Structure 1
Amino acid sequence: MTTITKMNLGLNGPLVSKLGLGCMRMSPVWGSKGNDESESIATIQTALDNGINFLNTGDFYGAGHNELLVGKAIKGRRDDAFVSVKFGAIFYNNQWLGLDLRPVAIKNFINYSLVRLGIDTIDLYQPCRLDGSVPVEEVIGTIADLITEGKVRYLGVSEITAEQLRKAHAVHPVTALEIGYSLADRQIEQDLLPTAKELGIGVVAFANTAEGLLTGELTAPLPAGSYQHHFPRFQGENLIRNLAKVELLKQMAWEKGHTPTQLAIAWVNAQGEHMMPLVSMSRRTRLPENMEAMQIRFTAAEMDALNTHFAPGAIVGGTYLQR
């Protein structure tokens, strides 16, 4: 494997890997089983060995399990890792209960995160989303205080609107916006992405394969236990129509000698120097193919074909990204 290239996270932000490692699926989340812990730790460490230093976790992933896992993986090599942590989501018995974004809760959350991770400072700290229950100014102001105290280095935000992004940035400079983005989910191109670019905010883009739709591996109907059944996009005629749209991506992938998944990641990567594909991995075997995706280039004709074929609205039926 070749080492990954670097990017500035935001206009005046830190130097991080252009490819981010999503660690969520290494833990039991929403009723799923966790992966082999030793393999997960080895995956993180191999990623670090190859220059992927951006590690994305959340204090609610596996009820703290994911932070403990990341902490074990980076022990003794803290300087190699840039740790991004989301907070605010409240789960009980794998059921979503809501958000707690009160300043007192945030100050409680971060202390537990620091202990589980075994570090003194979190590199990027961000509410998992904002729901209006607490004013944006109070949420962001609390993180700004944590930055002053030295418990946090940079402010991030996740899954918010362009208006909320402007409000947050006015309180304290936002370094990164984490948001779902793919060929199948382009609604944020209208206002959120232009706002982030205008303000000099880096974009950490997850769900590059649109919950598996763009992998080219799904067939209709999906197996009975598939979590995608919850989303209209993967139901009935919607799924049949959407899988037909993916055929173009599969054909282009075959012609270029890559997989549809690699092309989906490469398309996100090609959206700009400020854009980081955040890819979930829990096995070392996934690293080479995902790193290779970062080297894929599209001709002008190929990019035009993808953008036209997957124009906003081309994929029918929503997912949790359309809130």
Structure 2
Amino acid sequence: MKNTTTIQLGNNGPIVSRLGLGCMRMSSIWGGPTPDENEAIATIHEALDSGINFLNTGDFYGAGHNEMLIGKAIKNRRDEAFISVKFGAIFHNGQWLGLDLRPMAMKNFINYSLTRLGIETIDLYQPCRMDGSVPVEDIIGTVADLIKEGKVRHIGVSEINADQLRQANSVYPISALEIGYSLADRQIERDLLPVAKELGLGIIAFANTAEGLLTGDLTAPLEANDHRNHFSRFQGDNLKQNLERVEVLKQLAKAKGCTPTQLAIAWVKEQGEQVMPLVSMSRRSRLPENLAAMDIAFTTEELNTLNTTFAIDAIVGGTYLQR
């Protein structure tokens, strides 16, 4: 795998790059502008050249635009890419409407995904979350049927609880859990992460910088049009208190000669050999910094400082990641 280390998704699952490329930001987010498509494709190509083969998307990212973009990028390079697709979310005019996890809908979703991606098989297929509207066994059982049909290779899950994870794995072996995980969002360490490790799953950890909180670039208050103003973590005194903790991260990063973002990614990487940081990028200029983060090592004292400063629930206020 060229210049990157690897991770195995599941006890008998596929070997993929230890750093994953999240492609969501290559399409319009929450009704915003669509980034430059040529730059996005070039970013995917450079990621593949660097050994990052794990490409993560959702059929609802940019209303299908994201899958079509990836399809263009991997044309003639299909064997170099491992494609992870989430499904189930329904949006209209940029507004969240809910989930559709009915087996009939899933069988419809995957055919559109395969067409947009221009491939015959999706490597990892996963419901974006589960809300109890459809039994877990029906959802996972349907994906298992898609494996038999040759349309899917491996099953993943995302944004679920520990009981649902056990139930899903009892229906068909789950290869990976995709979940938000960072210094600022450690709630999964209470029950979900231990279960995932017990079952031998790969952990695909997104939101490593907690929606930008851990980049060291935020100041209070946010701009009035910033979508993060909707979440209490980024409001008023909450944001001021949270940024005081981020100062510790900034000071440690400065002492180590790296950026706070790199340190945040590296911390995720340090949480176990089965944990993959999934980093969203839309520009090639971000690749060197994020790749270098995978080489950062910590002393015991440094890890203790971070784990104490960013203990579970130390960051005040909620976000969409709160469970």
Q: What TM-score bracket applies, with the shorter chain setting the length?
A: over 0.9
Distance 2:148 2:274 in 1: 26
The 5 Å alignment of 1:67-146 reads 67-146=67-146
- Gapped runs of 5+ residues in structure 1? none
Q: CA deviation at 1:29?
A: 2.2
Aligned sequence identity (%)? 73
Q: How many Å apart are 1:23 and its aligned residue? A: 0.2
Give, in whole Å, the separation in 2 of the partners of 1:11 and 1:291: 25
Q: Give 2:178's aligned residue.
A: 178
1:286-320: CA deviation from partner (whole Å, max 9, x where unpaired): 00000000000000000011101110011000000
Residue equivalent to 2:154: 154
Distance in 2 between the 1:81 and 1:148 partners? 22
For residues 114 and 315 of structure 2, what CA distance do their matches in structure 1 show? Answer: 40
Q: What is the CA distance between 1:12 and its match in structure 2?
A: 1.1
- CA positional deviation for 1:63: 0.4
Distance 2:5 2:207 in 1: 21
Residue equivalent to 1:190: 190
Quick check: 1:165 aligned with 2:165? yes
Give CA-to-partner distance per residue, 1:114-165, whole Å, 9 cap, x none.
0000000000000000000000000000000001111000000000000000
AA in 1 matched with 2:62: G
Matched, 1:273 2:266: no
Structure 2 residue identity aligned to 1:150:
G
Partner Cα separation in structure 2 for residue 183 and residue 311 of structure 1: 8
Q: What SS does structure 2 have at the residue aligned with 1:3?
A: coil
Q: Which runs of 4+ in 1 moved over 2 A?
A: none
SS at match of 1:285: helix
Please, which moves more after superposition, 26-35 or 166-175?
26-35
- Name the amino acid aligned to 1:88: G
Q: Supply the AA of the counterpart residue of 1:104.
A: M
The residue that corresponds to 1:258 in the other structure is: 258
The aligned residue for residue 40 of structure 1 is: 40
The residue that corresponds to 1:249 in the other structure is 249
Whether 2:8 is the aligned partner of 1:8: answer: yes
Q: CA deviation at 1:224?
A: 1.2
Greater displacement, 4-13 / 265-274: 4-13
Amino acid of the structure 2 residue aligned with 1:208: N
Q: Does 1:309 align with 2:309?
A: yes
Counterpart Cα distance in 1 of 2:32 and 2:261: 22
Q: Distance in 1 between matches of 2:318 and 2:295?
A: 31
Instruction: Provide the C-alpha distance between the structure 2 equivalents of 1:166 and 1:150, rounded to a whole number of angstroms.
Output: 25
For 1:236 and 1:92, locate their aligned partners in 2 and report how far apart those are by CA, in whole Å. Answer: 31
Q: Distance in 2 between matches of 1:61 and 1:222?
A: 25
SS at structure 2 position matched to 1:264: helix
Q: Give how far 1:34 is off.
A: 1.1
Distance 1:62 1:29 in 2: 7
CA distance in 1, matches of 2:317, 2:267: 22
TM-score, with structure 2 as normaliser: 0.99
What is the CA distance between 1:194 and its match in structure 2? 0.4
Q: SS state of the match for residue 284, structure 2?
A: coil
Match of 2:240 in 1: 240
Secondary structure in 1 aligned to 2:96? strand
Report the secondary structure of 1:39's partner residue.
helix
2:20 aligned partner: 20
Gaps of 5+ in 2: none
Q: Which amino acid aligns with 1:170?
A: S
- Give the counterpart letter for 1:281 in structure 2: M
RMSD of the TM alignment (CA)?
Answer: 0.7
Counterpart Cα distance in 1 of 2:218 and 2:32: 19
- What residue is the counterpart of 1:295 in the other structure? 295
TM-superposition CA deviations, 1:87-108 (whole Å, max 9, x none): 0000000000000000000000
TM-score w.r.t. length of structure 1 = 0.99
Alpha-carbon distance in 2 for matches of 1:154, 1:42: 27
- Give the number of equivalent residue pairs: 322
- The code of the aligned residue for 2:98 comes to G
